[in-house]
Amino acid sequence: MSRVAVTVLVATIAMLSPARAHAQVAPAAITPSGLVMLPAPPAPAVQPDEAWLALGGVVDRARHDGGRLQVDVFGGRHWVLGVSGSLFEDADHAMSSTASRLFGSVYGAVTFRVVGPVHIRLQVGYGADAAAPSSRFFESAAFAHVEVGKRWAVVGGPIAQAASIEDAVTNPGTLLAFVGLQHR
């Protein structure tokens, strides 16, 4: 078979391949040594990161413990907007009673890959206490998450909450620790 026939055969196969329907394929070329060089397959399109759902435990400096749920609602490749809710149990050991507090917030976050499956997420939000909606707070968080498979990750980090200016006198803020699981 001649070089011309091989070149025509390779070019025809390349034009009829399924990859041709999705991307432009460069024609085959013959090198000076007579070898046929096929073009590299097209690179896959980069997909935006998928939204995460995080559920975990949270504790503050005063040893109030509870749970937190975060849901990424909308986002792009490295940023998301989402909502979160936290439920705390306040135990008054002197009075032998407990009370539940529910907090909700909206947040924006950016995520950076550090190395391999390890990511860092920086997050800022604004929220309120469900029992006292006029009691608002700002929060910032720095989470590290390690992917475990394609859909799961272990996540943890500090969350700093600061009361809005109106409430800063009675509630200066708090530091929380969060540890949980994420699923996408």
CATH 2.40.160.20 domain span(s) along the chain: 53-183
Return the pLDDT at 65: 85
Return the pLDDT at 139: 93
Q: What is the CATH number of domain 53-183?
A: 2.40.160.20
The radius of gyration of the chain from alpha carbons, rounded to an integer in Å, stands at 27
Residues with Cβ < 8 Å from 103, sequence gap 6 or more?
A: 85, 86, 87, 88, 127, 128, 129, 130, 137
Pick from 99, 97, 98, 73: which is nearest to 85 by CA? 73
DSSP H or E stretch at residue 158: strand 152-163
Is the pTM above the cut of 0.85?
Answer: no
